[in-house]
Amino acid sequence: MLKLLVGLGNPGPEYAQTRHNAGFWWIDALAARHGARLAPEKGYFGLVGKAQVAGQPLWLLEPMTFMNRSGQAVAALARFYRIEPEQILVVHDELDLLPGDVRLKQGGSHAGHNGLKDIQAQLGSAAFWRLRIGIGHPGVKSEVINWVLRKPPADERAAIDAACDRSQQVLEHLVAGEWEAAKRGLHAPAA
């Protein structure tokens, strides 16, 4: 059962609309959908809120450290509230998926994603769940940093927003730990 939902991104207006902030977009949409309010919490190095989903209270977190220090916020909140890695869902941008694609998985490699890398290091575990929001790949490795820190064109942003919406429709399954049902709903071809 999930207890903490984390969206990854970089703080500041200059990054707000960039692909790397897809995790923040997801949390913002979820907070709006469930009437939750995110507020700065210095002790957790981020914006923190609480939502009720399927009768379960869930912590929401957007780390306000930069991406490569995301684990500082996640670990601080998880330790204080005794939340195990398996009870955490981290939502992040994914280069290896096209805009509009979304995938759920548990554990595995950080695949070079600095936010995931730091969360694994700070938690001492890779067993947390990941919701991977596709942002596409520039096609050339040397362009990746510029790609993730750039605003997507309107059609790609619409596809990313649609993926966020689709993934939130299976949130009740996620909260209940019904992973296979959630995956069936997420991994079905987009209509």
Say whether 15 counts as a known binding-site residue: yes
Q: Does residue 109 register a pLDDT over 70? A: yes
Q: Where are the alpha helices (DSSP H) in the chain?
A: 22-34, 70-80, 114-123, 144-148, 154-168, 171-175, 179-187
Name the DSSP class of 160.
Answer: H
Mean pLDDT of 167-181: 91
Say whether 24 counts as a known binding-site residue: no
Say whether 146 counts as a known binding-site residue: no
In the annotation, is 110 catalytic? no
Pick the catalytic residue from 20, 92, 113, 173: 20
The lowest-confidence range among 33-42, 162-171, 178-187 is: 178-187
| Cα 60 from Cα 6, distance rounded (Å) | 6
Residue with tokens 């619409």: 158
Domains of the chain: 4-187 (3.40.50.1470)
Mean pLDDT of 60-82: 97
pLDDT score for 83? 98
Q: Does residue 138 register a pLDDT over 70? A: yes
pLDDT score for 188? 66
pLDDT score for 186? 87
**Amino acid in position 55:** G
Tokens of 96: 């290896």
Quote the mean pLDDT of the chain: 94
| Cα 179 from Cα 106, distance rounded (Å) | 10
| Cα 148 from Cα 15, distance rounded (Å) | 10
- pLDDT tens digits along 2-59: 999 999 999 999 999 999 999 999 999 999 999 999 999 999 999 999 999 988 999 9
| Cα 106 from Cα 180, distance rounded (Å) | 12
Residue with tokens 């049902």: 181
**pLDDT-based confidence at residue 189 (cuts at 50, 70, 90):** low
pTM: 0.95
Residue with tokens 């507020």: 39
Say whether 66 counts as a known binding-site residue: yes
